[in-house]
Structure 1
Amino acid sequence: MLLHRQIIPRHSLLLRIRSLHSSTRADIAPSPRVSAANTKDEGTIADAFASLAGAADVVLPERFAELKRTIVPNEAAARRVTAAWAEVLGELRTAEKEILDRGSDIVPQVNYADLSSLSGEEIEVVKKRGTVVIRNVVNEDLALGWKEDIKRYIQKNPQVRGFPADNKQVFEIYWSKSQIEARSHPHVLSTQTWLSSLWQVNPDTIPEPNPLISLSTPLSYVDRLRIRLPGDAKFALGPHIDGGSLERWEDEGYRRCYKNILEGRWREHDAFDIGARLYANSDLYNGSSQCGVFRSFQGWLSLSNTGPNEGTLRVYPNLLLSSAYVLLRPFFKAVKPLDSANSREDYLEASNWTLDLASTEFPNSVMGRGQELNEITHPHLRLENTMVSVPRVKPGDMVFWHCDGVHAVESVHRGEGDSSVLYIPAAPLTEKNMDYTARLAHAFLSGSPPEDFPGGKGEAEFVDRGNPANFLTVEGARAMALKEFEEWPGMNASDKRAIEHANRLIRG
């Protein structure tokens, strides 16, 4: 039996959010389950990006030229992608003008209390921009208290790893009491559910019937935290896209997510169709800090009052255009290089770019690293003009960006206070996500890092590490696969299949 196109009805979403709100503090006594060992070396966030790690450029093997010819196999396909390339370049100029005119105001801002009543038009703006600031998700005093608890945790455990090593700002901390409380807060869970509800299940893009998926069921993807101090210029993480780099073209399942773009029909690309993403492998090379699960949105919860120029997030606020450009970019090269062109504008003209199916070039794509972008490798994005800082946030606000979104961290923190966040994305229950989450129990109880992150002892010997008593809600414990899921009003057949699978894993 094939799925019908699945979009969560408004009334079902409201019922699900209410059930998350009513969740009470968990009474958890989990039994350790067998966990796949974290085989990655010790490290920090720097290992995920060639620029932070200081890695040299590497020429890719010849098979990547063959990959290009597989994706663009004949003259008809070549004509389609060439036409699409020219269209995208033209649209990028129009988008740049709008971004320059509006600045940070182009990023949608909504109140947590209004999530369930947003209009269709407001939701479409969020989807177009690929980024949203959600105000007042958590009480400000509670968020500030979490930050102070984290500072004490760091003081008690000075051996903690972080980047940069001589003045740590991004900490290899996953299991502090504050993080466990934040991930299990009912407002955080219902926000994650709302974000995943923006996605849909389209049977036309799913290779097999009845996939195990519940967009209404959030899982906890355990991530790090940041306390960035004024004046810092080392955590200068430039424009990038998480979720692998070469994998977007190399992995057949992942490539299917961008089928319309790669076939020249870029305007038909649906960035919110979960179909092919269920089968994508975004970590072919076991890279440090390369995410192996599906995150509908990446995000963080603010622990400070932070605005533009104060070490905050920057985004490219046009999801469709940035995705189309990044996916098509490896297939084109400049006829005249910049230093030979009459001007930069002439260099960027579509007529100066020609199809390249012979080289192994995938600009700024490195095995086992995230996809980085800059003015040289992705010049038409004009990143110096189009990356905008998100609006000012206060403690308890959350910021989210689509998993394909181009984002960065401001290169210098010019503010007077710390710029601190807990990284908390949205990850719905899918078969792959649940398999990963079910293996977290042992890591949680032992204090070792999650599989996606640098390995080693982690927090195993840390003083005052978080424990099961720190979950604020039963739903938070379920999101960590430490307690079985229950049915809720309005759930559909897909939800039921997914939680039945989840409960089998939880029972072991």
Structure 2
Amino acid sequence: MSPSTATRRSSPIPEDFPVAIAAAKADLRARIGDYAGVFAAVEADMRAKVASIVAEREAGQPIWPVVQAQDIVDGTVPAATVAAIRKRGCAVVKQTFTRGRAEKWDAELVDYVEENHFDEKYQYLDDGVFGGLAAARPSIFPIYWSKPQMEAREDPTMAATRRFLNGFWKNESMGRVWFDPDRDTAYPDRVRRRAPGTTSSGLSAHTDSGSVERWLLPAYQQVFRHVFDGRFAEYDPWDGAFRTEVDEYASTVMCSAFRTFQGWTALSDMHPEDGVLHVIPIPEAMAYLLLRALQDDVDDTDLCGAANGESLPIDGRYHSVLLPALSPIPSVEPGDTVWWHGDMIHSVGPVTDQQGWGNVMYIPASPDCPKNADYARRCGEAFVAGVSPSDFAPEDYEVGWLGRPTVAELSDLGREQLGLG
């Protein structure tokens, strides 16, 4: 069995999803009690937060917190910035890498795919994740093991940035240690290269790392125990309890790791109008999504459109209260990194005749825990073989590619991140 097809940790799939959904909704409604009253209180809280974000954005105030990478390394991030990141659940880290280094990586990625004749070999595969951006030539390249990606993942400043972000999470609670915020594991992901002149409808608002699982799985019910107990005021979106025990249903969109933050590294200049990432900067908004699906105007077998094997959709029919808060990243330059809480609602804005390139490397924060270490070890096996990580479609383009780094070329941290020593 190749590493790309190795057995992944996943939860048993229900034989009948409509039946399972109806049963879960009945149990959760009974558990909450006055589920309509609890939801009304949460909705009022969301309306106030959304109104504040819209007012600040329209007044020209920044929505995304911005932090300097050197301040992270030096331990001198201003307290106000820390508070803003905790409030908004997202951040831009300026100059995680120098512009020159990021632009060099961008050019090296071009050389890597061209030297190995990727265009001639590429066959479009719609894995359901980025289909809205795909075309004959991809925007999302199923490339995982290039030298630029490996160098960025193991870079000391990147590691310090991820430790800083992990630190927003409570890693000890209920008498247990859930993860080690100071140790990295790898979650290898792809690259995006979106060419000048691109016209794209973008990606609609959604969340990752589980859709129907958030209501159906016992571990996720524990993650959101305060919400499902009707005690929203006690819900802490930064509490890591039980998140490392969630194993999603097997699909092409499952995530085998606990990511404190999703993230990407900019390889080109990008501006808010360039079809960039938008988020609803309210970490607590997941509570609204969970409770909205339990209301009486939603069919007993429906979870506001959530479907197994798909990202959790944010639908104007059910979630219109939240959508005005969608806010784009500020302008970024090569070497900046962009981060958002793993539960964060996000989208990709549409663009017509894009000006300049829109290139990124996807690199999240995934701290050490048994779940993440297990997946990282399997990614290490995939790296050695040059195949796709098992969370992604087994396209395996890089097998035998020239210029793919070897284990010996990795730093000690790079090997540790992949369970290779």
Q: Which residue of 1 aligns with 2:268?
A: 304
**1:132 alignment partner, SS class:** strand
> Who is 1:46 aligned against?
none
Kindly state the Cα deviation for residue 412 of structure 1 after the two structures are TM-superposed. 1.7
**Cα distance, 1:120 vs. partner?**
4.0
Contact 1:311-1:414 at 8 Å conserved across structures:
no
Matches within 5 A, 1:33-72: 36-38=3-5, 60-72=17-29
1:151 to 106, 110, 114: 110
Residues 171 and 177 in structure 2, CA contact (< 8 A), matched pair in contact too = no
- Which of 356, 371, 374 is the aligned partner of 2:312? 371
Q: Which residue of 2 aligns with 1:292?
A: 256
Tell me the residue number matched to 2:100.
Answer: 141
Give the distance between the partners of 2:218 and 2:56, measured in 1 at CA. 38
Matched, 1:467 2:406: yes
Structure 1 residues 149 and 210: CA distance shift in structure 2, 3 A: closer
Separation in 2, partners of 1:293, 1:410:
27
Among 325, 350, 359, the residue aligned to 1:420? 359
Contact 2:92 2:337 in 1 (8 A): yes
1:324 is aligned, of 287, 295, 305, to 287
Cα 1:160–1:191 shift into 2, 3 Å: farther
Correspondence for 1:380: 321
CA contact (8 A) 1:181 1:470 kept: no
| Residue 183 of structure 1 pairs with residue 153 of structure 2 | yes
- Structure with the greater alpha carbon radius of gyration: 1
Shift of 1:378: 1.9
Residue 196, structure 1, aligned to residue 166, structure 2: yes
SS of equivalent residue, structure 1 residue 439: helix
Deviation at 1:192, TM superposition (A): 0.8
Q: 1:210 and 1:302, CA in 2 relative to 1: closer, same or farther beyond 3 A?
A: closer
Gaps of 5+ in 1: 1-33, 41-58, 335-355, 484-508
Which consecutive unaligned segments of at least 5 residues does structure 2 have? 8-15, 125-132
CA distance, structure 1, for counterparts of residue 108 and residue 205 of structure 2: 31
Question: Partners in 2 of 1:235 and 1:220 — Cα distance?
Answer: 31
* Distance across 2 between alignment mates of 1:398 and 1:470: 24
The Cα shift of 1:98 comes to: 1.8
Paired residue secondary structure (2:108): helix
1:235: Cα distance to partner?
Answer: 6.2
The aligned counterpart of 1:340 is none
**C-alpha deviation, 1:233, in angstroms:** 3.7
Q: Which residue of structure 2 aligns with residue 478 of structure 1?
A: 416
SS in 2 for 1:73: helix
Matched, 1:84 2:38: yes
Secondary structure of 2:359 counterpart: strand
Q: Does residue 277 of structure 1 match 2:243?
A: yes
Residue in 2 aligned with 1:315? 279
Q: Is the 1:258–1:269 contact (alpha carbons within 8 Å) kept by the matching residues of 2?
A: yes
Counterpart Cα distance in 2 of 1:400 and 1:470: 28
Alpha-carbon displacement from aligned partner over 1:158-209 (angstroms, at most 9, x marks no partner): 22456624131111110111111111111111111111111123332x6xx5
Segment of structure 1 superposing worse, 444-453 or 462-471: 462-471
Q: TM-score, normalised by structure 1?
A: 0.74
Question: Could you tell me which residue of structure 1 aligns to residue 195 of structure 2?
Answer: 229
**1:255 corresponding residue in structure 2:** 221
Partner of 2:89: 130
Question: Does the C-alpha gap of structure 1 residues 133 and 217 become closer, same or farther in structure 2, counting only changes over 3 Å?
Answer: same
Tell me if the contact between 1:153 and 1:464 (Cα under 8 Å) persists in the aligned partners.
yes
Q: 1:373/1:210 Cα in 2 relative to 1: closer, same or farther (>3 Å)?
A: closer
Q: Does 1:239 align with 2:205?
A: yes
1:299 shift after superposition: 0.2
Instruction: Give the corresponding residue for 2:335.
Output: 396
- CA shift digits 1:286-307 (9 cap, x unpaired): 1113211101100000001101
Tell me the distance in 2 between the aligned counterparts of 1:160 and 1:61.
Answer: 37
Cα distance in structure 1, aligned partners of 2:368 and 2:419: 11
Per-residue deviation, 1:398: 0.4
Spell out structure 1 runs of 4+ moving beyond 4 A. 34-37
* Residue 373 (structure 1) shift: 1.0
Residue by residue over 1:427-473, the C-alpha shift from the partner in whole angstroms, topping out at 9 and shown as x without a partner, is: 100011001111222210111100111114331143322323543x3
Deviation at 1:83, TM superposition (A): 2.1
Q: Is the 8 A contact 1:35 1:440 kept in 2?
A: no
**What CA distance in whole angstroms lies between the structure 1 residues aligned with 2:135 and 2:93?**
32
Do 2:280 and 2:325's aligned partners in 1 also have CA atoms closer than 8 Å?
yes
2:48 paired residue among 68, 82, 94: 94
For residues 83-115 of structure 1, the C-alpha deviation after alignment (integer angstroms, 9 at most, x for no partner) is 221112222222222222222711101101112
CA contact (8 A) 1:169 1:235 kept: no
Residues 1:431 and 2:370 are matched in the alignment: yes
2-structure distance, mates of 1:447, 1:360:
42
Distance 1:210 1:318 in 2: 26
TM-score, length basis structure 2: 0.89
Determine the C-alpha separation between the residues in 2 that align with 1:188 and 1:370. Answer: 27
Give the counterpart letter for 2:289 in structure 1: V
Is the 8 Å Cα contact of residues 142 and 395 (structure 2) preserved in structure 1? no
**SS of alignment partner, residue 202 of structure 2:** coil
Alpha-carbon distance in structure 2 between the residues aligned to 1:436 and 1:405: 22
Q: Give the 3 Å change call, closer, same or farther, for CA 409–482 of structure 1 in structure 2.
A: same
Tell whether the 8 Å contact from 2:386 to 2:398 is kept in structure 1 after alignment: yes
